[in-house]
Amino acid sequence: MAKYCSKCGKEVNENSKFCEGCGAPQNVVQTSNVNTNQKKKGMPAWAIVLIVIFGLAIFGSIGGNSSDNSNSNSGKKVSPDNVKVTFSEQTIYEGHDVVMKVTGSENTSSGVKLNIYVENNSNLNLNFNAHSYGVNGIMTRNNIYDMRTEVASGKKANTTLTIKNSTLKEYGIDYIKYIDILFWAYDNDKMFKSFETNTITIKSDKYDDKNSWMEGKEIYNKSGIKVDYLSINGDKIKYVVTCR
């Protein structure tokens, strides 16, 4: 059965995660390959995690002292609203006849804005977007339209990517130490992805080698997946999943 993009109406492959025409995300059910020889070894890790989480919903809370899990160890309260971060000029990608640079940053009332320069020396008319990114090792529910710019063959462009303070607060991040980001480049003429960068790490002036992963009461730790319970408020449970 043919499948069409809900945004632009272009026909897309039934397994495509994004529309090759406009780049809009598609509703695709993701499945993982299971080794049939391992099926008898027990319940998969993801199922155990779900059971633990739903168990919390039924039983309310777990014993032990609660914590606000603040990232600050000092008496002074810090938050994205009052900590200013700076990103210096740096080349972040060179490949496929494309050069990308961070040319600076701005602290605004809504968040931190990265100024990004793109130079397209290829023979393709390309459209660039920030496909996915994480802050201080924590993945965010970003949108590809957070940064999207068209650069014709032989041309240059300046664009921006804003990391919102509201996003940082949602994930308990006081300030940005570094950003891990993956860019996609689409061929505008063929309406198909041309290439993607490797994961690029962009460091701020607040960078250190300490992670910002939230930790609470450990409720599961197996097969590289760790789940910590943080808090419960009514029917809402706050927890963190760390994959190592």
Nearest-angstrom CA–CA distance, 173 and 232:
19
Number of residues written out for the chain:
244
Phi, then psi, of 92 in degrees rounded to 5: -110, -15
Q: What is the pLDDT along the chain (244 residues), one digit of tens a residue?
A: 556 676 666 676 766 666 766 666 665 433 334 444 444 455 566 666 555 555 544 443 333 333 344 444 445 577 888 899 999 999 999 999 999 999 999 999 999 999 999 999 999 999 999 999 999 888 887 777 889 999 999 999 999 999 999 999 888 889 999 999 999 999 999 989 999 999 999 999 999 877 666 678 888 888 888 888 888 888 777 777 776 6
Do residues 160 and 143 touch, judged by C-beta distance below 8 A? no
Nearest-angstrom CA–CA distance, 227 and 217:
8
CA-nearest of 99, 243, 112 to 185 is 99
Nearest-angstrom CA–CA distance, 220 and 143:
30
